Amino acid sequence: MSANKRLLKQTLIYGIATVLPRVISFLLVGLHTDLMPKVAYGEITILLAYMIFFNVILSYGMETAFFRFYHKEDANNSEIAKQNKNEVVSTATVSIFWSTILFLCVTLLFQKTLASLLNVDKEYVNYAIWILAFDALVIIPFSKLRAEQRPIKYSVLKISNVIINMLLNVFLLAILPKLAHANPQGFWSTFYFEDYQIGYVFLANLIASLFTFFLFMPHYFQPNWLFNKVLWKQMLQYGWPILFAGLAFGINEHLDKILLSEWLDPATAKAAVGAYSACYKIGLFMVLFRTAYTLGIEPFFFSQAGNANAPQTYATITKYFVILGSLILLVVVVFADVVKFFLVRQPEYWEAMKIVPLIIIANFFLGIYTSLSVWYKLIDKTIIGAYISVIGAIITLSLNYILIVKFNLSYLGSAIATICAYGSMMIISYLLGREKYPIPFEMKKILTYLFASITLACISFYIDIFRETFIFGILAIIGFSYYIYKNENEVILKIIKRK
């Protein structure tokens, strides 16, 4: 199999393992919002947001450092390379293992204090601690599968975890209560507790994480574990900027839920977070598009780096990403009130629907930023990406405080802050890249498509008469599609003829 075909196959398999969990998360939104009040769903969202930050801290950049040092000696004698790779695997595993044990000792000892600080029930915090620990312990085993180019096993294990989690959610939340109520003295009533939906969600997650860890247990029973202190220090030094960037990304992506829970009236905060988070999920249609694009395009960008026409290729691909993304943005916003009947069926959550266009636009900006950011990856200046993420994080924090606390805009303020953060990152990356690695983007066309799509989407959604009838929105989609065809018909016809 040629290198390009192998790369395409692996990208497809890894893509399925990455995108499918997000698709299943869509399905769980409907289940959770059907069976839980906003307060309960809000509490789950808040604890999951905290867990994102702990996930980043517990990996402390070791996953990326593992890949860097695992492949470092590939050009050397094969036997030497094999020894070095084993040393990298061993050192990384020992490091993650003992740091996770330390995390368990500290958090279990102070879980009551931690629960109080996070304003979350102690029992749920206990679940979260063990989930985080088991997830941390499979970081290096999963990374080893990727490094050894075993995408099928990697994907099967990842997808199995998600499917187990989903099936347990369905059983514990929807089926178990019916079984228990049908026979109050029966077997199933032993496992059923009233008003325990939050606990069941985290229990399902814990069992799925434990199952995955159990499958990787042989990895931890190797006869000769080595720990190279010099190598470990080098890996830590390489990984700390990744930790820094990961925390910054977590702030941009998840901190708004935590800030809302802290800065809104305690009597309504969790309910507001629940509504915001549920409607936020509708915007994940754009996340799926962005994720699929990133998985496929990043390897391609690197494969083209030595080509003289690479800058023009990058420019063309970015333009068509913007075109397709603009059309997706418009379609999803126009039909958001239809989508909500499938994803968020309970009317009590719909109060936050006004944030949907803003979240979709924000995620589109992040996708464009990802495409624009190829330049600093190609010149090995990934630290610039960390700096840009930090700027985005500062904007997120500042605007959330101003718009939530000072202007009392609640989750609308968080949505606006998200747009501003990702929009700023997009603009900064473009301006820096224009000097460091010039790419001939067709900015006039890109801005025209972007402006037209956002304007039409906002008019169709925020003007009630247009939103209620869908007529304007449908005409906008038809008109925008025709405009795309009129300007890009040569390329579109070539694609059709190839098929």
| pLDDT in 10s for each residue of the chain, 499 residues | 444 566 557 667 777 887 888 888 788 999 999 999 999 999 999 999 999 999 999 999 999 889 888 877 555 556 656 678 889 999 999 999 999 999 999 999 999 999 999 989 999 999 999 999 999 999 999 999 988 878 889 899 999 999 999 999 999 999 999 999 999 888 999 999 998 999 999 999 999 999 999 999 999 887 678 899 999 999 998 888 889 888 999 999 999 999 999 999 999 999 999 999 999 998 878 888 888 787 667 667 766 777 778 889 899 999 999 999 999 999 999 999 999 999 999 999 999 999 999 999 999 999 999 889 888 878 878 789 889 999 999 999 999 999 999 999 999 999 999 999 999 999 999 999 998 889 999 999 999 999 999 999 999 999 999 999 999 999 999 999 999 999 988 777 766 666 5
**Same domain (yes/no): 205, 245:** no
Q: Which of 140, 200, 135, 199 is nearest to 174 (CA)?
A: 200
Residue 306 has φ and ψ, to the nearest 5°, of -85, -5
**Same domain (yes/no): 158, 261:** no
- The predicted pLDDT at position 111 comes to 95
In a domain, 2, yes or no: no
Of 177, 194, 227, the domain-final residue: 227
In a domain, 356, yes or no: yes
Total number of domains constituting the chain: 2
In a domain, 266, yes or no: yes
The identity of residue 4, as a single letter, is N
- The predicted pLDDT at position 3 comes to 47
**Same domain (yes/no): 223, 309:** no
**Same domain (yes/no): 393, 477:** yes
Torsion of CA 118, 123, 128, 130, to 10 degrees: 140
Q: Which of 243, 414, 272, 251 is nearest to 352 (CA)?
A: 272
In a domain, 385, yes or no: yes
**Same domain (yes/no): 306, 188:** no
- The predicted pLDDT at position 77 comes to 55
In a domain, 6, yes or no: no
**Same domain (yes/no): 256, 223:** no
**Same domain (yes/no): 198, 242:** no
- The predicted pLDDT at position 499 comes to 52
In a domain, 416, yes or no: yes
**Same domain (yes/no): 407, 334:** yes
* Segments forming the whole domain that contains residue 402: 238-499
Number of C-beta neighbours around residue 265 at 10 A:
8
**Same domain (yes/no): 167, 315:** no
**Same domain (yes/no): 415, 389:** yes
**Same domain (yes/no): 313, 383:** yes
Q: Which of 296, 281, 124 is nearest to 200 (CA)?
A: 124
Which contacts qualify for 6-14: CB closer than 8 Å, 24 or more apart?
6/149, 7/299, 7/303, 9/151, 10/149, 10/151, 11/295, 11/296, 11/299, 13/151, 13/152, 13/154, 13/155, 14/146, 14/151, 14/154, 14/155, 14/295
In a domain, 248, yes or no: yes
Of 227, 258, 289, the domain-final residue: 227
In a domain, 12, yes or no: no
**Same domain (yes/no): 66, 210:** yes
Residue 263 has φ and ψ, to the nearest 5°, of -100, -15
C-alpha to C-alpha distance for 413 and 403, rounded to whole angstroms: 5
Of 193, 227, 261, the domain-final residue: 227
| Residue pair 361/329 in contact by the 8 Å Cβ criterion | yes
- The predicted pLDDT at position 284 comes to 78
pTM of the model: 0.91
